[in-house]
Structure 1
Amino acid sequence: MMNVVIPRDFHYNLPSCSVLRKIQPLCAVKKTSLRSKAMTSPSIAQDEDVSSQAIILEPVREDGIDVLLLFFPGGLTPTQAYFPLINTIQKKSSFRLWATILDPGKSPINLPMIEASFDGMITRTKELGFESGELSISRIFVAGHSVGAWCSRSISMKKSEGFIQMGSFFHTNPDNLAQYPKPVLSLGGGLDGQLRVAGIAKHAGEILSLEPEMGYLNTNATKPVIIFPGMNHAQFSHGIPNKERGDIDAHISLEDARAQTAECIVSFLTLHVKAEDETKQLALENLSKCVKRTHVLYKTFWEAVENQERQAKYWQLQVAGLEELKEENVVVIKHDYMDNFVYSKPWIDAKEKRIFVQLYSSPADKFGIVKNIWIKMKSSDAIHQLLGKSAKKSKIVRAADINAETFHEALSLTPEVSRRKFYESGKKLRFIEDCIVMTSGQDWVDSDVTMKPAEDGSDIVDVQSTVIITPVQGIASRFAGMHYMKLLSVARCMEWILLDSFR
């Protein structure tokens, strides 16, 4: 049976397997002590400590090593939504697993709140019987979902033995998963429309790339990155997708999602807590199996994310339409800042037979991982003229055709199981005529590739690119002979096939 210890005046519906037990809150002396300790850090406000409202789930086992899981929920998600997952973890574990869930109340969960409440959560659990190890961090692990994971990983680094993030990923460069000094289990859903699958797939690629130096155990035990196919963002909690925030319907049951999640968490805990060697070997085999499946299904995706601009030379050669020009005749200047790109121009070095192309990768989602490609090329007419070729009128290369070709390449890179699911139920793309900008360059800059439901009511999404083509004659030389396009990257197409087509 799962004993649940809750603060006064907290109301919720318990799972049928649980036993409700109320306790008195911490005595006034201990509350004062905790708050005094919190106030020693100027970054932690006294009123941020909500540890007295934390919910404690006592172990379901009488024997085994004591282990504590400090859990931080996602935003707008009631704490009780995580009870079934935690109960599943407790049942699968061979430890006396305690779990303490921070309840932020009506306030959004945030880093100051977590820092102020962390020690109090541990103190309350110890008062109920949790036996810690020799060190203050011994057998203490931090887990979080979504923003709860995002906000808790910094304190986990200082005050726990390991960190478990669900539906979240390390986003900024200083906050680097590979360099994080504690073990981290990263779990994501293949249909997570809120945090996006690209971020955690990128993690998997980063960790795998280090295996020649860091070894097999780093990939599979210390920094395992696992994506569950068919699982969405909400299935780490109550399973109800927040579609306003982008999440989509799952392709697996909530029970299956919880079982897979719990199995991986238990295996991770087993590997990093003292246990029998045979038990650890089984745990490693389980994590390794899940990590390998992630590599099989998402390796081509994270490789596409890592090199989203690789087709730029090919696109310029297509526009040029000259067989004698090869990749070495095209130089791509990649811009990290849009302002620099906006004021740049492509040019041709006729003597060296080189075309200099300007390129900028525009974020296609709120995390900026998957990109659309903005490219400034020289037009076919300008290349023929400056290289002394005949002035025959070549066929205009459409952005729509390039996008269609890119999409078919993405399909070929998508694993068969994902491709089949897309063909069965994913929304299909139609690449419609380019939007030719005739007014000003600024209008082109302000635009991007659009993906909109078809106006004919069919279950098709129309993709359209904006394009500028300027004449060679009758215009200022600075603006003559330009061919600008906004295009889909292979990564963006793969993200559509794997995720967004199921919206």
Structure 2
Amino acid sequence: MKLLYCSLLGLSAVLMGMALKVQILPPLRKTDTEAALIITPGAFIKGDAYEPLGVFVGMYGMSHPTQLKGVLLYASYLTRKHKLHAYPVPVMTLSGDLDGLTRITRIVDTFEELENDVKNNANATFRTPVIVMPGVNHGQFASGTMPPNVAKHDLKPDVTENNAHEQISNHTSDFILANLPDPNPYFKQAMASLSVTYQNTLTIIQPLLDIKRLDDNSNHTSVWTSIAQKIIAGNSLDKYVKAYDTEVSEVYIGEKNPDEYLTEDGVTVLTYSYLRQPMNPEDVSEAPQTPEEIIAKMKSSQAIADLLGNVTASGNLTCKEVNQVAFAYVLANASTAAKIRFEQRGLPITFYPDNPITFEEDWIRSKLKLNYSEVGLYVTSYSHVTNVKNQEDGMSGMHFCKLLSPYRAMEWIYIDSLKTNGTIDTTQA
């Protein structure tokens, strides 16, 4: 008889409490083996001792595959160095979309991995499912008094504890039944349920994936920087402008500068960008998971107008306005549930005027200012704008911006804006 190891609040732990009670569950068929259900009345995990244990479950499954039938990761995930398709036993990743510690923006990455696996092997849907439950938070994977860190950072759930536990139980049952070594009477039903759950999770995650892929994609292009170039051009010029962006590394962004040339129907602008991701070597999901900024190098509206020769620039649009458009865009493209939550209880974003920087070297070293506070998020961009004329170093007509990543704006809408208990993580990630 082998046990199916699972995780509580994203972990498996040595529980402290009353004596264990063991109940043997009868097999579904005479040829099956029985299973053991171990119950610990009054069990609890002391303080924040649970935090590192979710990682240990994943590691244990890697090192002891012959001892396990599968692994359940509740409000947890395999760290990035462990891939779903290479995991030696079936593993289910189960979380809620209102989890303030295991952020949905972290689970998006794992689901994206599953999505790619399914293209090559449809059975990945059942062997390594990644499930996001609507309305469920982190603490609802347990009950009772939450550890201080959970109480501090978790979000308000939309469903009751009983409803959350029922969802968790149903998904757990489906996963176990779909991965028993021998066919059982409920196998097809479990497989069908997991297929539906995959589509339901995709529906929840798709808006986040779409925004993420604007700038984090296999084409190595920042779609948002291309859009930003048209915004900077202004209403009188944007219809003449086609912008194409190339993402480069942090090493080369200082060396690359945008270019423009005339075409039969207008101006083509070649922009450059660098997507600065947060430093997170330990793959911790409590802090923001989305890009810290987009370093965008564009041409100014005056430079475009001068190249066209027969139109006038409509004004001096700023990085601030680009950031405002980014926020409006992601709010319009968020899920209905996310919009309602944000409108009902979300904290606002305030956009401050740009901080202009004279020298490009200083601008490169600057960083988009994201000030998380108890009353909202304050965003300040740094700009570097040069005149069209009197530039002898090839720096004529530049408009450089440290931009708010649309994905970071969406993460604010989905997660951080809902931390309305005065405990928003103020770490600038």
TM-score normalised per structure 2: 0.76
Q: Secondary structure of the residue that 1:491 maps to in structure 2? A: helix
Measured at CA, do residues 249 and 106 of structure 1 come closer, stay the same or move farther in structure 2, by a change above 3 Å?
Answer: closer
Deviates more, 1:260-269 or 1:391-400: 391-400
Task: Give distance in 2, aligned partners of 1:290 and 1:82.
Answer: 35
Matching of residue 467 in structure 1 with residue 383 in structure 2: yes
1:390 Cα deviation from its structure 2 partner:
4.8
Measured at CA, do residues 359 and 68 of structure 1 come closer, stay the same or move farther in structure 2, by a change above 3 Å?
Answer: same
Q: Secondary structure of the residue that 2:343 maps to in structure 1? A: helix
Contact 2:110 2:130 in 1 (8 A): yes
The residue type equivalent to 1:249 in the other structure is: L
Task: Give distance in 1, aligned partners of 2:381 and 2:142.
Answer: 39
Measured at CA, do residues 160 and 76 of structure 1 come closer, stay the same or move farther in structure 2, by a change above 3 Å?
Answer: closer
The residue type equivalent to 2:75 in the other structure is: G
Matching of residue 97 in structure 1 with residue 11 in structure 2: no
Contact 2:302 2:313 in 1 (8 A): yes
Partner of 2:317: 397
Determine which of 189, 206, 224 is the counterpart of 1:299: 206
Determine which of 88, 93, 96 is the counterpart of 1:189: 96
Partner of 2:254: 342
Matching of residue 249 in structure 1 with residue 155 in structure 2: yes
Measured at CA, do residues 88 and 235 of structure 1 come closer, stay the same or move farther in structure 2, by a change above 3 Å?
Answer: farther
1:358 Cα deviation from its structure 2 partner:
1.2
Measured at CA, do residues 461 and 87 of structure 1 come closer, stay the same or move farther in structure 2, by a change above 3 Å?
Answer: farther
Partner of 1:199: 106
Measured at CA, do residues 92 and 277 of structure 1 come closer, stay the same or move farther in structure 2, by a change above 3 Å?
Answer: closer
Task: Give distance in 1, aligned partners of 2:200 and 2:412.
Answer: 20
Partner of 1:115: none
| Higher relative contact order (CA closer than 8 Å, sequence separation 6+) | 2
Measured at CA, do residues 89 and 280 of structure 1 come closer, stay the same or move farther in structure 2, by a change above 3 Å?
Answer: farther
Partner of 2:422: none
Task: Give distance in 2, aligned partners of 1:68 and 1:437.
Answer: 62
Task: Give distance in 2, aligned partners of 1:502 and 1:495.
Answer: 10
Matching of residue 317 in structure 1 with residue 230 in structure 2: yes
**Structure number with larger C-alpha Rg:** 1
Contact 2:99 2:136 in 1 (8 A): yes
Contact 1:373 1:488 in 2 (8 A): yes
Matching of residue 485 in structure 1 with residue 405 in structure 2: no
Matching of residue 377 in structure 1 with residue 298 in structure 2: yes
Unaligned runs of 5+ in 1: 1-65, 111-143
Partner of 1:69: 4
The residue type equivalent to 2:347 in the other structure is: K
Matching of residue 267 in structure 1 with residue 187 in structure 2: no
Matching of residue 332 in structure 1 with residue 245 in structure 2: yes
Contact 1:194 1:246 in 2 (8 A): no
Superimposed CA distance per residue, residues 130-188 of structure 1 (whole angstroms, 9 cap, x where no aligned partner): xxxxxxxxxxxxxx96323453342255653433223333443x532244454221112
Superimposed CA distance per residue, residues 420-455 of structure 1 (whole angstroms, 9 cap, x where no aligned partner): 12211111223332222346632553312424448x
Task: Give distance in 2, aligned partners of 1:416 and 1:169.
Answer: 26
Higher helix proportion: 1
1:359 Cα deviation from its structure 2 partner:
0.6
Contact 2:11 2:53 in 1 (8 A): no
Matching of residue 499 in structure 1 with residue 411 in structure 2: no
Measured at CA, do residues 78 and 214 of structure 1 come closer, stay the same or move farther in structure 2, by a change above 3 Å?
Answer: closer
Task: Give distance in 1, aligned partners of 2:417 and 2:23.
Answer: 33
Task: Give distance in 1, aligned partners of 2:117 and 2:316.
Answer: 44
TM-score normalised per structure 1: 0.66
Q: Secondary structure of the residue that 2:383 maps to in structure 1? A: strand
Task: Give distance in 2, aligned partners of 1:92 and 1:379.
Answer: 73
Q: Secondary structure of the residue that 1:471 maps to in structure 2? A: coil
Task: Give distance in 2, aligned partners of 1:244 and 1:422.
Answer: 21
Contact 1:71 1:99 in 2 (8 A): no
Task: Give distance in 1, aligned partners of 2:127 and 2:12.
Answer: 29
Superimposed CA distance per residue, residues 217-242 of structure 1 (whole angstroms, 9 cap, x where no aligned partner): 432x1221111233333443456265
Measured at CA, do residues 392 and 271 of structure 1 come closer, stay the same or move farther in structure 2, by a change above 3 Å?
Answer: closer
Q: Secondary structure of the residue that 2:36 maps to in structure 1? A: strand
Q: Secondary structure of the residue that 1:484 maps to in structure 2? A: strand
Task: Give distance in 1, aligned partners of 2:17 and 2:198.
Answer: 24
Measured at CA, do residues 81 and 408 of structure 1 come closer, stay the same or move farther in structure 2, by a change above 3 Å?
Answer: farther
Partner of 1:427: 347
Q: CA RMSD in A?
A: 4.1
Superimposed CA distance per residue, residues 321-359 of structure 1 (whole angstroms, 9 cap, x where no aligned partner): 4356343xx331212x31222333223346895422111
Task: Give distance in 1, aligned partners of 2:337 and 2:24.
Answer: 33
Contact 1:373 1:486 in 2 (8 A): yes
Task: Give distance in 2, aligned partners of 1:468 and 1:89.
Answer: 69
Contact 2:22 2:36 in 1 (8 A): no
Matching of residue 236 in structure 1 with residue 141 in structure 2: yes
